Amino acid sequence: MSSPNAVSGRFAPSPSGDLHIGNLRTAVLAWLFARSTGRGFAMRMEDLDRAKPGADLRQLDDLRALGLSWDEPVIYQSDRRDVYRAVIDEMVDAGTTFECFCTRREILEAPSAPHAPQGAYPGTCRDLTEAQRAERRAERPAAIRLRARASSFTVHDVLHGDVSGDVDDFVLVRNDGTPAYNLVVVVDDAASGIDQVVRGDDLLTSAPRQAYLATLLGHRPPEYAHVPMVLNRDGARLAKRDGAVTMADLAGQGVDAGGVLSMIATSLGMADAGEPVTMTDLLERFDPARLPTKPWVFEPRPADG
């Protein structure tokens, strides 16, 4: 891991398959935000529960082909389970967690507090007695939830300004023992000296929870920049099923890595259509204030087209 005294941005894909052009566009932006502010740049594989053999190496190859570089080594969350376990043990000892035995269905069907968002955790297991917990443990394994002591938290986003969001008793460890995303992302960012997080704006609503947890653990929350998503022609988040959206698919249609980078740059208003560019060119042109605020609608031809 990088020194906590260093400051870095990062890109943190899940190696569940090849990156599509929306993922690649976010990676380009994360790199530009970091390098334009003199930061290092870390690469982290979020591979705790969604990993396909070889996908990580293909993702890294695609990013290199675009011209991205990063500080070695690449971090794999699957190598850090002991770290997450140690943090959880400390939180359990400090009384900032509780065991939860609810299923998703039970949470959805439980009456919730007035004005609470649909599906919000209703606090069912928060104040169980030890005898009640022992009884529930005999029925099913427990998840571990945060015992939140705040109902909301505010973060500052470079593109969205101050953003306030609900903080609830969110899951830290699932009932199968897997550390949850909201925990590991906070622990890893702090350990790597990540003080700038650039990612898709579909994750904006999770930032207040993560920043609250970071503060609770004694860390300073990072600077956030949640960038517009890439959507398909139907207005849904772009996915590999939408056609030729990966580097390999596009290469099969005659679009090389330079062509993909040119498409991304054009979508960001940083190049003319078809203009050859490099990451160095884009770094010289980069201005966060001029980034598009609306999603990019990408309309690929069918992959076999």
- Torsion angle defined by CA atoms of residues 98, 104, 108 and 114, in that order, rounded to the nearest 10 degrees: 20
Residues 37-48 pLDDT 10s: 999 999 999 999
Q: Is 212 annotated as a binding residue?
A: no
Angle, helix 81-94 to helix 181-191, in steps of 10 degrees:
110
Domain boundaries, the chain: 8-77+188-210+226-295, 81-187
Position 243 scores a pLDDT of 82
Q: Is 190 annotated as a binding residue?
A: no
Q: Is 105 annotated as a binding residue?
A: no
Position 220 scores a pLDDT of 96
Q: Enumerate residues 6+ apart whose C-beta is below 8 A from 102.
A: 110, 121, 124, 125
Q: Is 299 annotated as a binding residue?
A: no
Position 242 scores a pLDDT of 82
The alpha carbon of residue 283 and the mean position of all alpha carbons in its chain are separated, in whole angstroms, by: 23
Q: Is 11 annotated as a binding residue?
A: yes
Helices (H), the chain: 21-36, 55-66, 81-94, 104-109, 130-137, 181-191, 207-216, 247-252, 257-267, 279-285
Position 299 scores a pLDDT of 83
Class of 8-77+188-210+226-295 per CATH?
Answer: alpha beta
Report the alpha-carbon distance of residue 293 to residue 291 in Å, rounded.
6
Report the alpha-carbon distance of residue 161 to residue 153 in Å, rounded.
14
Pick the CATH number of 81-187 from 3.40.50.2000, 1.10.10.60, 3.90.800.10, 3.40.50.800: 3.90.800.10
Instruction: Kindly give the parts of the chain with pLDDT less than 70.
Output: 1-6, 112-119, 301-305
Position 198 scores a pLDDT of 98
Q: Is 98 annotated as a binding residue?
A: no
Q: Is 102 annotated as a binding residue?
A: yes
Q: Is 121 annotated as a binding residue?
A: yes
Q: Is 199 annotated as a binding residue?
A: yes
Query: What value does the mean pLDDT of the chain take?
Result: 93
Q: Is 286 annotated as a binding residue?
A: no
Q: Is 224 annotated as a binding residue?
A: no
Position 110 scores a pLDDT of 81
Q: What is the DSSP letter of 217?
A: T
Q: The pTM is what?
A: 0.92
Report the alpha-carbon distance of residue 252 to residue 235 in Å, rounded.
25
